[in-house]
Amino acid sequence: MPCEKCEPLLKKSFPFWEKLSEKDKLDLMNGAGCAEFKKGQNIHNGTVCTGIIFVKTGCLRVYILSEEGKEITLYRIFAGDVCVLSASCVLESITFDVYVDAEEDSRCCILSPSSYRKVSELYPEMKIFLLEKTVSRFSEVMWIMQQILFMSFDRRLAVFLLSECEKSGSSEVKLTHEQIAKYMGSAREVVSRMLKYFSSEGYVELSRGGVTVTDFESLKRLAF
């Protein structure tokens, strides 16, 4: 039985869907299963080959785990996007293991590695699509790593926001990204990107007029 609920999601996710033959569409649909995950539930665990995960609703968190149990979040996958590193068996050049948890209650479609492999042999577009997704995750990971390894800008921005709040005696910093960049001697893009990250971590809320600190404790931990 084809997983009918997955069809619209696959169709929407693959820009080349209409190029596929009816048989190949059916093969993909037959190879895709719907799945629901509770907040906090583990979805993918290191070395197994779970498949390609299409997120319908909710949010997934992709992370690496040390032997000692230390976690580092690499990135999050939101509704409408796709997780490829959970199918490292179809990407031969991927030799590292990640873990994927549901960060919120999430509904997903999981495409089996064998179905992907079969159809992607016929359509180079499909290979290119997944490789490009992977390469763009590479960029996200490099960004996080640079923050962690060079330990500069996230810390500096946290220090800046805390000192602004202290000055004004409020949790709101009424400055545009442009202005913050100017004060910090940085570029607007860099500030916007880091604020977006702070916001995704729940440290701040972004609004038109500025930035509101919502989690002073975490921001202080980052700063000092």
- What is the smallest separation between the CB atom of 194 and its own copies, expressed in angstroms? 13
- What is the smallest separation between the CB atom of 106 and its own copies, expressed in angstroms? 24
- What is the smallest separation between the CB atom of 30 and its own copies, expressed in angstroms? 25
Q: Which of 17, 63, 78, 143 binds its own copies (CB under 8 A)?
A: 143
Interface with its own copies includes 142 (CB under 8 A)? yes
Cα–Cα distances (Å) from 202 to 41, 96, 197, 214, in that order, read 20, 28, 9, 7
- What is the smallest separation between the CB atom of 170 and its own copies, expressed in angstroms? 27
Chain position carrying tokens 């719907």: 34
Q: In this complex, which beta carbon is closest to its own copies, that of residue 4 or of residue 67?
A: 67
| Sheet of strand 106-111, all strands in order from the earlier edge strand to the far edge | 32-37, 106-111, 52-57, 82-83
Interface with its own copies includes 125 (CB under 8 A)? yes
Instruction: Using DSSP bridges, classify how beta strands 82-83 and 106-111 pair: parallel, antiparallel or unpaired.
Output: unpaired
Counting residues that bind its own copies (by CB under 8 A) gives 36
CA distance 20 to 156: 50
**Which bin fits 78, alpha (ψ -120 to 50), beta or left (φ > 0)?**
beta
- What is the smallest separation between the CB atom of 191 and its own copies, expressed in angstroms? 14
With H, G, I as helix, E, B as strand and everything else as coil, classify residue 139: helix
Contact 100, 42 (CB under 8 A): yes
Interface with its own copies includes 202 (CB under 8 A)? no
Please give the residue ranges that form the binding site for its own copies (CB under 8 A): 64, 66-68, 70, 72, 91-96, 124-125, 127-128, 131-139, 141-143, 145-146, 148-150, 152-153, 185
